[in-house]
Each structure stands twice: as C-alpha cells, then as structure tokens.
C-alpha cells in the first residue's frame, strides 16, 4: 500500500489558504488582505485581515482611497499583518512564520521584525516597485527576516459552508 496520499494539502497550501480565507472577512472594497501566523511546529497562532480597529464601525469610517487624509481609509485601517500580531495573546512570536496574501508594507515589516517573526511567505507582490515595499525589503534583509514567494499549486480547493 502506498503511504503517500494525494488527497491532502501541503502546509504552505493550508496556511496560505487560511490567509486567503481571512482576507475574505475584510470589507475593504479595493484590497482584501489576509495573514496567518504559524509556530515553528506548524500550529496556527493568529490570523488577521485589513480592517478598522475594534469599536470603529465599518459604516462610520471611510473605505475610499482618494480624498483628504481624514476622509480616506489610510488613517483608520489596520493591515492584516498588524492585526494578526495584535490579535495574538499567547506571548512571544519569536521564530514564527507569517503567511500573507500581499507583501507587507514598511510599517508592517517593522512590526514583523520587532515581534520576532523570522519568515514571511507571500502570495502577491503587486506593489513591489513602491517605496513602501522597497523599504520593507531593505529592513527585512537587514534584520535577517526571510521572505519567500508562495508559488500557487494550481489546486482548486472548494468549500461549502
């Protein structure tokens, strides 16, 4: 009997799938992003998606990208990576890995570095040529945080809930 089964998904597929599912919780009409933090022993520790802080209603704060700073989302929304870090209540994230659907910006890179996460697995780098992501990669490289592109397997996973 063959001990290898073809009906299970890899750890990377599993954790990136959790990040992608988390992204679907975001009410941001422009960019839905999800994150999943995993221990060195492949245990899910926390998840997050981009949205407003607890108590700040999605109906009372703006989601648009344009307009004056107080009238767009950027002063109010929290990115998925920071939400996942802040949602964790179990202690240290030292040595952990974070799966993200979009490469982290410079601000999220700072939080990732400071909390001790050692690896980022990302699904998309569509802002790779922006100053924010260039600065992010510079800090990640300097601090020894590894980042790896998640290569999609092409496997379609369908869930009915």
Maximum Cα interatomic distance, the chain, rounded to a whole number of Å:
65
CB 85 within 8 A of CB 114: no
HSE of 100, CA atoms in CB hemisphere, 13 A? 29
Q: What is each CA distance from 52 to 26, 77, 80, 88, in whole angstroms?
A: 9, 5, 10, 17
Structure-derived torsion over alpha carbons of residues 74, 45, 22, 154, reported in degrees to the nearest 10: 120
Judge whether 94 counts as a catalytic residue: no
Tell me which of 13, 66, 81, 107 is the catalytic residue.
81
CB 21 within 8 A of CB 36: no
Supply the residues annotated as catalytic.
81
């Amino acid at each position: 009997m063959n001990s290898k089964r073809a009906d299970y998904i890899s750890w990377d597929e599993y954790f990136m799938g959790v990040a992608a599912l988390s992204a679907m919780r975001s009410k941001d009409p422009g960019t839905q992003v999800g994150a999943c933090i995993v221990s060195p022993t492949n245990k899910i520790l926390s998840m997050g998606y981009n949205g407003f802080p607890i108590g700040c209603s999605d109906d009372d704060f703006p989601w648009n990208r344009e307009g004056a700073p107080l009238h767009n989302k950027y002063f109010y929304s929290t990115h998925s990576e920071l939400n996942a870090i802040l949602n964790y209540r179990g202690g240290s994230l030292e040595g952990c890995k974070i799966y993200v659907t979009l490469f982290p910006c410079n601000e999220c890179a700072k939080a990732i570095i400071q909390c001790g996460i050692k690896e980022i697995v990302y699904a998309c780098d569509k802002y790779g040529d922006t100053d924010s992501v260039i600065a992010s990669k510079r800090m990640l490289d300097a601090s020894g945080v590894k980042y790896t592109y998640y290569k999609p397997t092409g496997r379609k996973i369908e869930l009915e809930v």
